[in-house]
Amino acid sequence: MMEANRDPDMEISAKSSTTAGDITPTHSVATEDVDSLPDYTHSYLSPPPFIKETVPCPGNTYIIRHPVTGRQITLERGELRLKHHTGEQGGYHWVCVEKGGWLGFYDPIHGTYMGRNNKGGYMAKVKHHAGWENFCARRHPDGGYLLLTSHWFCLMKMDVDKSGTKLVETFGEGKGTAWEFVKV
């Protein structure tokens, strides 16, 4: 039986004490190239904490995040990229609008809409919501929403390329990214 005024943490540390240099902590790394170390706060090894899921609806503003890396769809010189939060300069807030039943995502800072670029990717360079800026959001069974765009007689899914920073169109079962919509 433990005495009432004994600290259990002190008891554990006293039993497991060692001399300096006996144990190397699991987080220590010996390297000269600090830039080559993974960023565990935003890596595939450590997903960001769960955020309450939000359904994309017209009239609301969202940050659209990649569910594993926590990177957000950000407008950078007319091109859409996945970036970690880059401060308050803008380019990552998207106003959801509706036209003809299709969703559109409008950047209020630059006055442009997210859309297909006809090269297998996405951009935000035009100031209108027409066919190439039309999106449909489909609930994914594992959480989040697939973003779909029409391409002739099929729906293409917005996905991330191998570099993890560019947005690309993809087609087929099991493809596409299930995006998180964080209401702001």
> What pLDDT, on a 0 to 100 scale, did the predictor assign at position 83?
92
* Reported pTM: 0.70
The CATH number that applies at residue 84 is 2.80.10.50
Per-residue pLDDT at 139 exceeds 60: yes
- Dist CA 90 CA 126 (whole Å): 17
Structural domain total, the chain:
1
Structural contact between residues 122 and 114, judged by C-beta atoms closer than 8 angstroms: yes
Tell me, yes or no, whether 16 lies in a domain.
no
Domain of 155?
Answer: 48-183
The answer as to whether 73 is a domain residue is: yes
Residue 95 lies in a domain: yes
How much is the average pLDDT of 90-115?
95
Residue 10 lies in a domain: no
Tokens representing residue 46 in the block: 């450590």
**Overall average pLDDT of the 36-52 stretch:** 41
Residue 6 falls within a domain, yes or no? no
147: pLDDT confidence band, cut at 50, 70 and 90? very high
> Is residue 99 in some structural domain?
yes
> What residues contact residue 68 under an 8 Å CB cut-off, 6+ apart?
44, 47
In a domain, 172, yes or no: yes
Q: How confident is the model at residue 87 (pLDDT cuts 50, 70, 90)?
A: confident
Do 64 and 81 meet the contact criterion of CB atoms below 8 Å apart? no
- Does an H or E element contain 91, and which? none
129-138 pLDDT per residue, tens? 999 999 999 9
